[in-house]
Amino acid sequence: MADVSGAVPRTSTHALANATPPNVLHRAQLGWEDATAADRSRRGLSTHEGRLVSREVANDLGLPYGGVTGTAAA
What was the pLDDT predicted at 73?
Answer: 42
Contact in structure between 53 and 44 (CB atoms under 8 Å): no
Tens digit of each residue's pLDDT (9 = 90 or more) over 25-68: 988 898 878 887 766 677 778 888 888 888 899 999 999 998 77
Per-domain residue ranges for the chain? 1-30, 40-74
Task: Give the whole-angstrom CA distance, residue 13 versus residue 51.
Answer: 34
- Residue 74: pLDDT band (50, 70, 90) is very low
Quick check: 23 pLDDT over 50? Answer: yes
Q: Provide the whole-model pTM.
A: 0.49
